[in-house]
Structure 1
Amino acid sequence: MVVLLTAGVIAVPLFKRIGLGSVLGYLFAGLVIGPFGLRFFTEPQAILHVAELGVVMFLFIIGLEMQPSKLWSMRKDIFGLGAAQVLACIAGLTMVGLALGFQPIPSFIAGTGFVLTSTAIVMQMLQERNEISTLKGQRMIAILLFEDLAIVPLLVIVTLLGGSGAATDASERWMAVAIAFAALLALVIAGRYLLNPLFRLLAAAGAREVMTAAALLVVLGSALAMQQSGLSMAMGAFLAGVLLSESAFRHQLEADIEPFRGILLGLFFLGAGMAIDLSVIAANWQIVVISVLAYMALKGVLIYAVARLLRACHSESLERAVLMAQGGEFAFVLYAAAVSAGIIDAEANATLTATIILSMMLTPVAIFIHGRLAKPEAPRTDDLEVPENVEGTVLMIGFGRFGQIVSQPLLARGYKLSLIDKDADFVRDASNFGFRVFYGDGSRSDILHAAGAATARAILICVDDKAAAIKIAHTAKQEFPLVPVLARAFDRGHAIDLLHAGVDFEIRETFESALVFGTEVLNVLGEDAQTAADVIEEFRDLDKERFALETIGGIYAGRQLIRGNAQPSDIIASRTARVRAEAEAREEQEGSPG
């Protein structure tokens, strides 16, 4: 365990620092400490067997985020997009084996195994890029879910294609299918009627460690039940997560499982790195290299083509192709079943396994190169209305959450707003709600002129991009020096930059809401309303003093000039004590008989 943890602790930060991601760090570390590196371990399969639980727990946590209603809404992506991609890739990748001179059935098995994308790698990458909840991330998850479901019929096909080593009795095959469906039904019933009462009972006992044990029991028990019935462990864990996604204990379960998930998933990638058999690669290096490049390139092209046919944009299609072009951990299961069925031999299995693992190692590199070379796709704006000779009382640049709130009192008083935003998708969405928002970049003087800045009584900068806000402020004050410019600031430093750019008024987007929140906190803590208001007003005055000094002479000079070397917190505490003393004196005076 010390060797495994040391390898991960050293490799992962190093690989993340150079931009190659944690997955490649784990795989490389596994290769270094494995049988073909420093030989700390000689049985990588033993590590992989335990580490598969990391993938299982990862799927459980994903299931917790997928309420049944949300999963139902994804059915078109799961069974439409997922099926289209899987079938197209199976047909295409089978041709690679045929082109290399192999028989049709082994070619089909080899290509089909490579079609099954690595759930662990894709989910880890999506999580690191904060894209799990995005639309493109959800579509990739839908494809992964279909691939998890597809492992069942694929294993049945392997059994049917097998020779003497495979079960050939039709009744046995139908019995296996019936057992699988019965296990699914039993898991759904147990999740629907037993899990919530179980967790309520355990919560009433008040033993936190028992809740953690129960969470692990649910994940591992459902995974084991699916495995014993011929399905994948990951599918069982995912279904258990979905069934508990609307439970009151959902967040508690996620918190209990998360530490185990992270460590075991890292252990899975370490095990995959150890499983790279360099002797097999050396003996068959030409076939391995050609197979890896051909499978990844053709699979990427097919994924891109399917995505474009189903109307995904170029950038999303390309990113999906790069991210999902590798083989996955389910290929190991499929190839092992093919060996048992007598379709491929042990050497072919080792070669195909090496091909899968190398593709997994190349994926972070491909993503890194894609991130450096890919240019962001220009938004489609041909159907959008651009400003032209617009006249309005107020010109608002940026109509997001902040701008929409600002617009309400202005519209209520009858002022005419000229609204521009450079987010093409948002402009389309805003029109669906009755707002007439023009598409345009507020930092361009020609757009400002066309949007009516010259005749406006005020220009409001409400964008959430700090650099863009400063650029717009410079342009607006240079072109229309007599028009007041009011701006939304991100933080204190941004507010100072906006004032230097010439804006007439700025407000930090969270400042006033934080003061209101602080007032309520003081009230909850028992301070009387007048004292709480006085303390907040003292802080507001102090902040104005500091801000004025910082704007003129820099932050350090401002702090020094306020009160010697005293820190702002000392000044606030001192003023708060004075306000509290005044309040107590006022209470004593009001309560005295005189």
Structure 2
Amino acid sequence: MEHGSTLLRDAVVYLAAVVVLVPLFVRFKLGAVLGYLAAGILIGPSVSGLVGNAEQTLQFAEFGIVLLLFVIGLELQPSRLWALRRDIFGLGLAQVLLCGLGLTGLLLLLTSFTWEAALVVGLPLGLSSTALVMQLLNERHMAATAFGERSFSMLLFQDLAIVPLLTVVGALSRAPVANPEPGWVMVAKTVGALAFLVAVGRFVLPRLFRIIGTLGAREAFVAAALLSVLGSALLMASLGLSMALGAFVAGVMLAESPYRHALETDIEPFRGLMLGLFFIAIGMSLDLSVVVANWGLVLALVVGVMAVKTASIAALARSFGTDWRRAVQMGLLLAQGGEFGFVLFAEAERGLLISHSAAQMFGAVVTCSMALTPLLFRLATRWLEPASDAGRRDGPESAGTADHGGHVVLVGSGRVGQVIAQMLRARGVGITAIDMDAELIDITARFGNTVFWGDGTRLDILRNAGIASASALVFAIDGQWDPKPVLAPIMAEWPDLPIIARAYDRTHSIALRQAGLDQVTRETLESAVAMGRNVLAALGTPETMIDAIEAEYRRRDLERLDLQVISGDMMTGADIIIRGALDLSTAPDPAALGEIPPA
């Protein structure tokens, strides 16, 4: 019971610090990440001591990075990943080697380390913080740009480099090991684990989500989403590999599945909370006594590390075709030490290569560099990116093709939605189709069409489907649905977005119109009018008279609908309904049009 009350008290302290500091930092445009770090420093052992055991909190909060990499993987289709291979394996490899070796040389100059100790510290310092960088890019809506993709390519290779770096630390270790594991065994484990994750993500998980989606069990779907993330992380952790890398591979394998948007929506709340807790734990782990005792060396190391990494990354990015302003900006964005540095420093300490105080000091260097990055990146964005270049994209070209008619989010892919989709494709319009029917999704996939699973009336699903950049939103849902709770938040957040809706019947059409929609189509109206025309033609009615009858019916129907929308009474305008033969003597005589050739 006492443990439970302590845990509850710690949770209250965490939340209180976040609620107070994060909005304050956001208000002064310092960024949420810096607010989380400040909250961790404030409540940590070095300042107030309200919460202790930063290492345990950090181990738990690392799941925030796991969830982040899974979400990133969901947004990167394998074809997109293949398009970035030059940046991942070319620029990423060059960055890890150049920064790691450059910092090794810096440590040899500033410290009394042996070359082995300098190497096992310099290589980890060459890594950057995936969690911090991606959070900063997402805050500024830059993750999907070429700048963001090039930055992420380097981060992804750094995750791949964890295994070789652990191998280097193990090879240089001075600690006696009973049964040392050869490096090739660890590499074989890595390849085997990745192959297994690819197979499971490609063949097993989509079928699992299809079964759960067919049953409509929302809680089970959320549980399955978390299971896929944590299961992949557990597999990699059991082999001593990067949990985040396993989650990323699982995400990439599900990126082309129809459940991508629903998965991203359900994971997002957990990701946000856990990532915030991770940054708090980083702030808590900062030992101010070590910083104060070695403030001169810590300051020199922070400045030296960030300067070496900024210069190296900027030079590499420039050599890969990035504009020099963006190259410097990229260098400052990736100049900090990374979260995996804590892991590698601990391994180096266990290997008797560095002392405990040295591990603490370099942990402080990483934390300080992470705290400085949001400020430096914000200044770099202001100074180095002119307003005219704000939207410029450099580096690798986008793998997708530009659509001629923009992008449309289509909710409902049944009988009506499929017709709409074909007409939009004929215009070259990009479509993101959403439907709740898993069986329908499988059927449309056989015809080469992609439909994503999810509830398209939920704002969070629509947001992940790209409604913010859409040219139009189309509701082609079968049956009646309450428009007010669905449309009100959409129209409030995107007031200029055109919304076209399918109405089940006249009553539903009135409800949609009263909710604020102007473009509403009753699903049976056009087919009924077409059938009426066919019947009239079968009775020998002249074409011009059929046109006149249709025009008169539409005029009366629209007039009555307007009156019903205003009054809210279905009986309003009942006297306008056609109840007998109309006087169509004013209709043009079809014989008088004989000299005009048919269209």
TM-score range, shorter chain: 0.5 to 0.7
Give the SS at the match of 2:577: helix
Which residue number corresponds to residue 152 of structure 1? 163
Distance 2:100 2:353 in 1: 17
Query: Which residue type is aligned with residue 16 of structure 2?
Result: T
Give the SS at the match of 2:14: helix
Query: Which residue type is aligned with residue 256 of structure 2?
Result: E
1:139 is aligned, of 150, 154, 158, to 150
Distance 1:89 1:210 in 2: 45
Q: Does 1:18 align with 2:8?
A: no
2:175 is aligned, of 164, 186, 195, to 164
Give the SS at the match of 1:305: helix
1:282 is aligned, of 276, 280, 292, to 292
State the TM-score, normalizing by the size of structure 1: 0.67
Kindly state the Cα deviation for residue 205 of structure 1 after the two structures are TM-superposed. Answer: 3.4
| Inter-CA distance 585–254: structure 2 relative to 1 (3 Å threshold) | same
| Inter-CA distance 204–277: structure 2 relative to 1 (3 Å threshold) | same
Structure 1 segment 499-538 matched on structure 2, within 5 A: 518=517, 520-524=519-523
Which string of whole-angstrom CA distances, capped at 9 and with x for unpartnered residues, describes residues 382-435 of structure 1? xxxxxxxxxxxxxxxxxx9799xxxxxxxxxxxxxxxxxxxxxxxxxxxxxxxx
Q: Is the contact between residue 327 and residue 356 of structure 1 (CA under 8 Å) also seen in structure 2?
A: yes
Query: Which residue type is aligned with residue 585 of structure 1?
Result: D
Q: Is the contact between residue 222 and residue 240 of structure 1 (CA under 8 Å) also seen in structure 2?
A: yes
1:259 is aligned, of 260, 269, 278, to 269
Q: Is the contact between residue 165 and residue 340 of structure 1 (CA under 8 Å) also seen in structure 2?
A: no
Query: Which residue type is aligned with residue 523 of structure 1?
Result: R
Q: Does 1:304 align with 2:314?
A: yes
2:327 is aligned, of 313, 317, 321, to 317
Query: Which residue type is aligned with residue 21 of structure 2?
Result: A
Structure 2 unaligned spans of 5+: 1-10, 390-402, 407-494, 502-511, 530-550, 583-599
Structure 1 segment 63-102 matched on structure 2, within 5 A: 63-101=73-111, 102=113
Distance 2:499 2:248 in 1: 43
Kindly state the Cα deviation for residue 575 of structure 1 after the two structures are TM-superposed. Answer: 7.8
Give the SS at the match of 1:194: helix
| Inter-CA distance 72–575: structure 2 relative to 1 (3 Å threshold) | closer
Structure 1 segment 447-526 matched on structure 2, within 5 A: 518=517, 520-524=519-523
Give the SS at the match of 1:141: helix
Q: Does 1:353 align with 2:359?
A: no
Query: How many equivalent pairs are there?
Result: 436
Which string of whole-angstrom CA distances, capped at 9 and with x for unpartnered residues, describes residues 83-122 of structure 1? 1222111121111101113221222222211111000010
Q: Is the contact between residue 329 and residue 384 of structure 2 (CA under 8 Å) also seen in structure 1?
A: no
Structure 1 segment 181-220 matched on structure 2, within 5 A: 181-220=191-230
Which string of whole-angstrom CA distances, capped at 9 and with x for unpartnered residues, describes residues 462-515 of structure 1? xxxxxxxxxxxxxxxxxxxxxxxxxxxxxxxxxxxxxxxxxxxxxx98789999
Q: Is the contact between residue 57 and residue 237 of structure 1 (CA under 8 Å) also seen in structure 2?
A: yes
Kindly state the Cα deviation for residue 520 of structure 1 after the two structures are TM-superposed. Answer: 4.4
Q: Is the contact between residue 46 and residue 288 of structure 2 (CA under 8 Å) also seen in structure 1?
A: yes
| Inter-CA distance 166–347: structure 2 relative to 1 (3 Å threshold) | farther
Kindly state the Cα deviation for residue 174 of structure 1 after the two structures are TM-superposed. Answer: 3.2
Distance 1:326 1:524 in 2: 57
Distance 1:27 1:289 in 2: 18
Q: Does 1:232 align with 2:242?
A: yes
Kindly state the Cα deviation for residue 183 of structure 1 after the two structures are TM-superposed. Answer: 1.6
| Inter-CA distance 510–223: structure 2 relative to 1 (3 Å threshold) | closer
Distance 1:512 1:146 in 2: 42
Kindly state the Cα deviation for residue 302 of structure 1 after the two structures are TM-superposed. Answer: 0.9
Kindly state the Cα deviation for residue 130 of structure 1 after the two structures are TM-superposed. Answer: 0.6
Distance 2:191 2:127 in 1: 22
Query: Which residue type is aligned with residue 119 of structure 1?
Result: T
Identity of aligned residues (%): 43
Which residue number corresponds to residue 585 of structure 1? 575
Please give the root-mean-square deviation of Cα atoms over the aligned residues, in Å: 3.3
Which string of whole-angstrom CA distances, capped at 9 and with x for unpartnered residues, describes residues 40-78 of structure 1? 111111111111001100000000111111111111110
1:124 is aligned, of 104, 118, 135, to 135
Kindly state the Cα deviation for residue 145 of structure 1 after the two structures are TM-superposed. Answer: 0.5
| Inter-CA distance 279–165: structure 2 relative to 1 (3 Å threshold) | farther
Kindly state the Cα deviation for residue 163 of structure 1 after the two structures are TM-superposed. Answer: 1.3
Distance 2:196 2:66 in 1: 19
Distance 1:48 1:73 in 2: 34
State the TM-score, normalizing by the size of structure 2: 0.67
Q: Is the contact between residue 315 and residue 377 of structure 1 (CA under 8 Å) also seen in structure 2?
A: no
| Inter-CA distance 535–124: structure 2 relative to 1 (3 Å threshold) | farther
Q: Is the contact between residue 130 and residue 338 of structure 2 (CA under 8 Å) also seen in structure 1?
A: yes
Query: Which residue type is aligned with residue 204 of structure 1?
Result: T
Distance 1:591 1:267 in 2: 74
Q: Is the contact between residue 54 and residue 285 of structure 2 (CA under 8 Å) also seen in structure 1?
A: yes
Give the SS at the match of 1:133: coil
Query: Which residue type is aligned with residue 576 of structure 2?
Result: R
Distance 1:523 1:41 in 2: 60
Distance 1:4 1:233 in 2: 25
Distance 1:378 1:56 in 2: 36
Give the SS at the match of 2:161: helix
Which residue number corresponds to residue 430 of structure 1? none
Query: Which residue type is aligned with residue 253 of structure 2?
Result: L
Query: Which residue type is aligned with residue 522 of structure 2?
Result: N
Q: Is the contact between residue 560 and residue 573 of structure 2 (CA under 8 Å) also seen in structure 1?
A: no
Distance 1:578 1:42 in 2: 62
Give the SS at the match of 2:522: helix
Mean Cα deviation higher: 179-188 or 274-283: 179-188
Structure 1 segment 543-554 matched on structure 2, within 5 A: none
| Inter-CA distance 301–207: structure 2 relative to 1 (3 Å threshold) | same
Distance 1:586 1:16 in 2: 59
| Inter-CA distance 513–192: structure 2 relative to 1 (3 Å threshold) | closer
Which residue number corresponds to residue 342 of structure 1? 352
Query: Which residue type is aligned with residue 321 of structure 1?
Result: G
Distance 1:347 1:282 in 2: 13
Q: Does 1:115 align with 2:115?
A: no
Give the SS at the match of 1:521: strand
Kindly state the Cα deviation for residue 368 of structure 1 after the two structures are TM-superposed. Answer: 2.6
Which residue number corresponds to residue 498 of structure 1? none
Give the SS at the match of 2:62: helix
Q: Is the contact between residue 114 and residue 331 of structure 1 (CA under 8 Å) also seen in structure 2?
A: yes
Kindly state the Cα deviation for residue 533 of structure 1 after the two structures are TM-superposed. Answer: 7.2
Q: Is the contact between residue 499 and residue 517 of structure 2 (CA under 8 Å) also seen in structure 1?
A: no
Kindly state the Cα deviation for residue 180 of structure 1 after the two structures are TM-superposed. Answer: 2.5
| Inter-CA distance 217–377: structure 2 relative to 1 (3 Å threshold) | same
Distance 2:76 2:152 in 1: 11
Distance 2:519 2:80 in 1: 36
